[in-house]
Structures are given as C-alpha cells and as structure tokens.
Amino acid sequence: MGHRARGLSAGEGHDGRFCIRHLQRILPPCGEAGHGHAGGAPVSAPVSAPVASSHEDLQVQLEQAREQVRRLRMIIEGSAAGTWEWNPQTGQMRVNERWAQIVGYTLQELWPVSAETFARLAHPDDVGRSDALLQAHLDGITDAYECLLRMRHRQGHWVWVQDRGRVYEWDAQGRPLWMAGAHTDVSDRQQALAEARLAEERSRVTLDAVTDLVLSIGLDGRIEHANASAQRMLGDAAGAPLQGRQVTEVMQLTTEYAPLSPLDLTVLLDPDSNAVDLHADLLLVQGDAMVPVDLSQAWLHDDENRLRGAVWVVRDVTQLRARQREARQLAELDPLTELVNRRGFEAHLQQAIGRVERTGQAASLMFIDLDQFKPVNDTWGHLAGDSVLWAVANLLRHGVRDSDVVARLGGDEFAVILAGCSLRHARRIAGELLVGITGQAIPWERHRIRIGVSIGIAAIRPGMDVDGVVAAADAQCYRAKAAGRNTVCSEQKGDGGD
C-alpha cells in the first residue's frame, strides 16, 4: 500500500484472529426465544431444544472456520508472503511476521507499523506511484492494487517487493471498509532480470560494434533482429528498421560464376536443403555493385528444442577474395607466358565439366602442340625459344573469347577450354588460330622465325573426368601430327561430337 493510505493506528500481529472475527460475523446468531399468540394471549414457545441445536451448529461452524484459518495460515507461510490488512476508514492495519522479515526485522522491532514505518522503508521514488495505484483501486478504476516497489533492508540494501491487494469488504454506503494483500520478495527475480538486461545490452553493443552483418531470421523469412552494420548496408535511406521485413526484400545474393542469377534465399531457411552452397564465391548485390561476401549460418531453437529460425553472419571479404585471387594466380600462372599453368588448367577444366553436367551446355577442349620447336632452341638458343612461346601465347590469348581459358601445359604444349562451344564452332576457331600461328614471322636478331602447329579438339561431356577429357584431346592432337602437322583434327559425330 502507498504512503498516504498506510493507516493511522499502530500495526498488530496478524495471527488469524482477525480472520476468525470476520468469519464469526457471517455465522448465524445463537438461538433466540420465539414468540407467538394462542387465543389472543401471548404464549412462550419452548426454547431449550432449539438452543442446544444452535449451539451445536455454531460449534461445528466455528471448528470449520478455525480449520479454514489454519489452512490459510499454512498456505501463507508456505508462500513466504508478508500479509497485510488495512481499514481505509480507520487506518487500522495488521501485518504478519513475514512482512517484517522481508526487510530484515522482527515484527516486534517494527511495532507499531504506521505510515512513518513505510515512509522510512520505501524508496522515495516508488511511494508516489504506489499511492496512485492504490487510489485507482479504491476508486473502482482497477480490479486490484498491484505495485512493484523497493524497500530498504535493515542491512542497508534495497529489497524488491511485489505488493498486491484488493478490497474485500465495503460499508453500507459502498465505501471500502477492509482491504487485504501480501508482500512478496522478488529481489532474486529482479536481479536475474537486471543481469539478463545487462547481458542483452552487452550483446547488442558487441553486435553493433562488429562490421559483419548479423541477422536473426524466423523460418518464415522475417527479420527478427539486425545489428547496426546490417541496418546501414541493407536499410533504406529513410532509416526504416529492418525488423519485421522479409529478408528477400532487403537482401540479394548471387555468385561469381553466375552473377546474373540471384539465389533463392528462402532455401537457406530449410534445414533439409543444400541448394545453396554457403562455401561458394558469394556476392552481395548493392545497387550496381557486387560485394564479395562469406555467409555463415547457425540454427536457433526454442526451449523445447524446436527449430525456430537462424542467425546469418555476412562478412565483406573483398580484400580476402582479392588476396586469394592473387595467390591463386601466382600458383596457377605460367611465369613466362602469363597464361594459366597446368595446375590452374586442371582446376578450370574440372569447373567446365561441372557446368556441362549442370546446364547441358556444349564445351570443347583444344590441344595445341608446336611443330619442330626443338630446332628453334637448338639453332638460336633458349631465349629465342622463349620469344616464340610468348608470341604464340599472345596470339592464342587474343584469338579466343575472354571467357575461354588459355593455358600453357609445359614445354611447347598449350590448351584452350572453350565454354559454351560445340565441336563445329571449335574447329572454326582452331582453323583461325592455325592460320595466325603459321603465318606469324617472329623477329629474332636479324632473322624471322616461323613455326608450325598441330591442333586436336575433343568435346567435354557429362560424366567425364579431367584425365578423360585430356586424353581425348591429346589423341586428336596426335592424329594431327600423324597427318603431316600444321593441321586440325577433332572428334566426329560418331565419337560423340556434333
């Protein structure tokens, strides 16, 4: 109860006698003598038997009332509640021992409990709110009085108390006569809530401090939480919160190998789906730009271990991807010609086989072997041979599309992976390259070096492995050399070509 309503009289021990008194008030009175008239003269009715019966009934009812009070006391003691009763009209107030124990005192030490007692114990910031809530109940605005407030413990710290009560008796004019309630020590609960709020605030500050995009998403695709970085990168210019929006509305991912094909993000929220490779070279679409990113995902479960959503962490890996690309290039480039080396060639060929299997699109492999290259080294030296290799590499590089992969496999052997290219188209390209290479006169000192070339072509088909494709193209190149060099040989229709 609030300070204003705390009563004017001293507090008393609340030992159940008050409840018995009120129960007695509602019991029927003891038997009284009845009066009647017989023949116009008053006659007294016998009263002895009814009186005995009334006393017996009263005794039974009193025993029942005492049992109810005993059970009520057990319930109160078991709940560790500090009970109070208060008469708003007289100010009379009673509290039990537990009411005093909550703030570290005995009831005797607090006696008499009064408005001054509460004023001394209650936190000044809570008294006014308690008074307002109590008055709202007394005025009939609320069904019950309830207030969370702080009271000073005997040892000096503050105890959180949940105070609840309601009017249970009114006078003949409808005014509140008696009100009862209880104090419950909820300090542990409030401490746990404070610690939880602190932990939540620390987590929020930590998440907002990281540059990664962190999103908590429900299984329906709706964003439940977004950290500051996600809000900045994915939010609109007006700063509208991301919470509540569908992730597909604010975020679009694609891949480096298919940048024009957006990924279906909803499949990421299906634990049984592996349609999206989180380890692929992902790109986050930002207007006209595409930012290289990595995405990691962790599943969220409820208290019953049922899946309820996921947390996505999206990291900008622009610099990392660039360093990886540089390292890969250094590891996969031929230092003389700056073409892809054999290691890089095999990796690209494996990717080409995978694309053929996924899309069914045609692709071809071209093997190129220089004719009579050894005499160049023997006659003019290895520097002259390097000059020839560089010239051939440059012609191959500019003789095919940017999407094609040109590789030097070692010595005087080259290869070209032609994506989306049938055997017929590959033969046309090979013919043009043959003309270009054989017609080239490479200056060296006062001489001009000419070189011949043999080219073999094989189709890249689903189900093949790297060695199988290489062997097929190499066989066609061997056929070209056996046919007299300076020629092109390829698989025919019967060999699986076009």
Q: Which residues are catalytic?
A: 412
Residue 228 buriedness (CB in 10 A; 0-12 / 13-18 / 19+): middle
Q: Which distant-in-sequence residues (6+ apart) come within 8 Å of 193 by Cβ? A: none
Q: What is the full DSSP assignment across 92-155?
A: -EEE-HHHHHTTT--HHHHPSP-HHHHHHHB-HHHHHHHHHHHHHHHTTSSSSEEEEEEEE-TT
Rounded Cα distance between 247 and 35, Å, is 88
1, 70, 85, 90, 175 from 169: Cα distances, Å: 17, 22, 11, 14, 9
- How many other C-beta atoms are found inside a 10 Å radius of the C-beta of residue 485? 15
Residues 6+ apart with CB under 8 A from 296: 278, 312, 313, 315
- Burial of 378-417, coded b for 16+ CB within 10 Å and e otherwise, reads eebeeebbebbbebbbebbeebbeeebbbbbbeebbbbbb
Measure the CA–CA gap between 196 and 171, rounded to whole angstroms: 47
The residues near 389 (Cβ < 8 Å, ≥ 6 apart) are 336, 337, 408, 412
